Amino acid sequence: MRRNRLAVAVSAFAVGSALLLAGCSAGGETSDDTLRVAIWGVNSDIDSIKEAAKGFEEANPDVKIKFEVGDCGPDYAACKKLIAGKNMPDVLVAGSWNYFAMVRDGVLADLTPTLDEAGVTTADFTPTVIEALETSDGDLYGLPMGYNTQSLFYNTDMFAAAGLAEPPADGSYTYDDLRDWSKKLTLDANGNNAESAEFDPENITQWGYYNRVALSSEPGYGPVLSAFGGGVLTGEERNECSIDSPESIEAFQYLQDLMWTDHSTITPQLEQEEPGYLRWVKGQVAMQQGSHEQVNIVAEQNPELNYNMAALPAGPAGNATLLQIHIWGVYAGSDKQDVASQFATYMATEGSGKQMGLIPAYQDRALGEDFALAPGEPSNVVAAQIDPASWPLTTVNVDPSNLWASVSGQDGFAPAMEDLISDRKSAEEAFGGICESKIDPIIEASQQ
Amino acid sequence: MTAGSSRVGRTSVNGRRPRWSPLRRREALTAFVFVAPVVIGLVLFMAVPLVASLGYSFTHWNLIAPAPTFVGLDNWFALFEDPRIGVVIWNTVKFILFGTTSFLFFSLIAALLTFTPRRFVGLYRAALFLPYVLSQIAVGIVWRWMFNSQTGPVTLGVELFGIPSPDWLLDPATAMISIALVTTWQGIGYGMTLYIAALNGVPETLMEAARIDGAGPIRRFWSIILPLISPTVFFLVVTSIIGALQLFDPVVAMTSASSAVGAAGGPDNSTRTIVLYMYNQMFNLNEQISGIGYAAAIAWMLALLTFAITAIQFLLGRRFVYYEGLAPSARTRRRDRTSTKRKAGA
């Protein structure tokens, strides 16, 4: 009896210890011929990447690809946790917003030699995109999967009902025009538009415009600031504060006036209740500034919506837009550098197109069936999405000085932005002198 | 069993340790085997990280570099030079003042209202307890909508009474109070349950005697109920303050404009707590000092703060907490002895 009890106890201890050790062990160990690839996105994004990788798998039957869906890529913190736990996949999809932080920390391997071996040159890619990824030494630590462009998406039925001509596809209109249209397209429950003296801002049923400034999101306000001749951080290394320049303040005031003076734009409160882009998809908003993912969302959620797109308008400084790049990168600590680099290069070149709904940056694939000529694309897609990449004022949200997290957070301009979009302060009151008081000390501290 | 072997550690007459019988050894082994998984778990997941984090606080490491770099006391000195530390401590204290106080008060009210058996009392208790089992992030997201300053039900409800509604989460003056209201709402059920258990321990005979002596409900509460449930009040005070010092999830869910933890803590830094700032320094910020070293130093500062506050509570608890059936504290005994001597002297 006692022996039995002891046997049970020893067995329980053994099982408990085994479970404990099993729980502690890293879960990412794979055999030598398996390449681990970290990917992210919605289901259709995941499927599109897997589909694109089939060509590589067929050409390399001895290599098994194991896709791991998670946050590592868009969220650098998630990658750091995997690296510290020695469980980092061999390949990942970084974003232009965190690419240089990964380069600085030595997370990404230099792909320049692999490109040379594959006979691929930077001239094969969209210049603005590839230049944004080059370090000051001209090296490439990642290759573009594709990019997003901010454009104006508009409801054609609403424009017709208001008797307005549709926005020119090439962006040959101004932010003043946009503001006028936004007021005319904003309607209250009695059908009065925002220009009418009888307009009731407490009872709006249709809004004219949506910009992600309501979310304090850079792809929302960034293009407007650039078109007005301003910006948050400017210069080649994006380490010169411009957020309180007269041009930036004018742009911020323009965005605030759309929300709180004209009442023609989605406010942060309305955004919180239901995101503005979904309101546009549902037909509650006439225009929105967004990227190509809107095309997929409309196809999935409201295929009956009649819409088109146009390049963003011109401000006092000219036309500007913002690009976001998704980047194939190879983990520098991977013990499968060669095959991982070959995979990343393949996905950015031969296998490019139709990945995550992005505009391919390789050769002229964007103009073909992989993007512009794909079924369901709006007629203005080339003028609105592809051509603006070559505008002189177009920017990419890369962060070569690794300042953005601090500058855009609570220690930087986040409180000022909250004041602006909540209408607590004017743009001048919120941002005036902020470079000297808050941003420059952050920049100086980073350079010490 | 001999007298010499009845206690572990007792020495025998000739100065040697007594030999354990085979039965006793087997029993000890069995006990060890059963306890070992828990002990191993505690050592692996509590003691080792605790010691490791103290070690990390003397290093700089961004998790990417192959190994941490020893920086001595740099992180600890940085704590004193960082102006944000004072802000985040004050924000956390504000939350304790609003959140813990309201939690203790409203939990007690809920317990008193649902203590007496009546129709549907089980339903009321279940309804009050339900929020406690929900995820803090989910609750935070829902209440963020509730506090929407244009269309939120709380705003509209306040305005129904003709009172201008504050901007709740958008105003630095009310943002932390709003978060405290939500955590109170979510925690009431837990506090209420413990209070009800304590109220069940109050002898009815005492209450009856007090009634006969003419004590009203308020007098009975202050003189009988509160002293008798004071151990539970003390437990809730200690644990809720420890929990409040670790506030993180509700702040992230209710104050980040774009679900980014890096931007949470607004408006104007008014809800940035110690733990949120620790997370920022660990994962969001790219300052010279940022990384696991400085985050560990902040964590240890929080641990020391928690220890100090808890120690003060225990010291105060000796005066205010009444443990029925236990010997009075040393101070009480000393006071009693002094009083007896005086009486004897007189």
The domain limits of chain B are 81-324
Whole-model pTM: value is: 0.82
* Reported confidence tier of residue B6, pLDDT bands at 50, 70, 90: very low
Q: What is the pLDDT of residue B346?
A: 42
For the cut 50, the answer to whether the pLDDT of residue B301 exceeds it is: yes
Kindly report, residue by residue over B99-117, the tens digit of the pLDDT. 999 999 999 999 999 988 8
Work out the percent of chain A whose per-residue pLDDT is above 90: 79
Contacts of B268 in chain A (CB under 8 A): 410, 415, 418-419
Q: What is the pLDDT of residue B240?
A: 96
Could you tell me if A289 and A150 are in contact, meaning their C-beta atoms sit under 8 angstroms apart? yes
In the block, tokens 């490109």 appear at: A115
* Reported confidence tier of residue A118, pLDDT bands at 50, 70, 90: confident
Hey, do A34-149+324-388 and A151-320+403-447 end up sharing a CATH topology, with the first three levels equal?
A: yes
Could you tell me if A333 and A88 are in contact, meaning their C-beta atoms sit under 8 angstroms apart? yes
Residue of A nearest to B67 (CA): A84
d(CA A354, CA A255): 34
**Considering CB atoms only, which of A6, A12, A410 is closest to B265?**
A410
Contact assignment for B266 to A20 by CB distance below 8 Å: no
For the cut 70, the answer to whether the pLDDT of residue B339 exceeds it is: no
Contacts of A109 in chain B (CB under 8 A): none
Domain ranges of chain A: 34-149+324-388, 151-320+403-447
CATH number for region A34-149+324-388: 3.40.190.10
**In the predicted model, what is the mean pLDDT of residues B73-96?**
95
d(CA B256, CA B138): 14
Q: What is the pLDDT of residue B37?
A: 93
**Considering CB atoms only, which of A13, A403, A410 is closest to B33?**
A13
**In the predicted model, what is the mean pLDDT of residues A55-73?**
94
**In the predicted model, what is the mean pLDDT of residues B233-250?**
95
Mean of the per-residue pLDDT values of chain B: 87
Q: What is the pLDDT of residue B94?
A: 96
How many Cα atoms occupy the beta-carbon half-sphere of A354 within 13 Å? 16
Nearest-CA distance A162 → chain B (Å): 28
Let me know if domain B81-324 sits in CATH 1.10.3720.10: yes
Residue of A nearest to B27 (CA): A6
Kindly report, residue by residue over A175-218, the tens digit of the pLDDT. 999 999 999 999 999 999 999 999 999 999 999 999 999 988 99
Hey, what CATH class is A151-320+403-447 in? alpha beta
d(CA A102, CA A109): 10
For the cut 90, the answer to whether the pLDDT of residue A144 exceeds it is: yes
Q: What is the pLDDT of residue A42?
A: 87
- Contact residues of B toward A, CB < 8 A: 23, 26, 29-30, 33-34, 36-37, 40-41, 44, 62-65, 84, 144-145, 148-152, 167, 170, 257-258, 262-269, 272, 280, 282-288
Q: What is the pLDDT of residue B267?
A: 87
Contacts of A13 in chain B (CB under 8 A): 33-34, 36-37
**In the predicted model, what is the mean pLDDT of residues A386-390?**
95
Q: Best mutation site among B85, B142, B143, B286 for testing chain A: the one with the most A CBs within 10 Å?
A: B286
* Reported confidence tier of residue A27, pLDDT bands at 50, 70, 90: very low
**In the predicted model, what is the mean pLDDT of residues A277-297?**
95
Contact assignment for B263 to A446 by CB distance below 8 Å: no
d(CA A259, CA A207): 10
**In chain B, helix, strand, coil percent, each to 5?**
70, 0, 30
Contacts of B264 in chain A (CB under 8 A): 410
Kindly report, residue by residue over B249-282, the tens digit of the pLDDT. 999 999 876 545 667 898 889 999 999 999 999 9
* Reported confidence tier of residue A18, pLDDT bands at 50, 70, 90: low
Lowest mean pLDDT among A12-26, A428-442, B43-57: A12-26
Compute and round to an integer the Cα radius of gyration of chain A.
25
* Reported confidence tier of residue B322, pLDDT bands at 50, 70, 90: confident
For the cut 90, the answer to whether the pLDDT of residue B294 exceeds it is: yes
Nearest-CA distance A226 → chain B (Å): 22
Lowest mean pLDDT among A145-149, A239-243, B263-267: B263-267
For the cut 90, the answer to whether the pLDDT of residue B151 exceeds it is: no
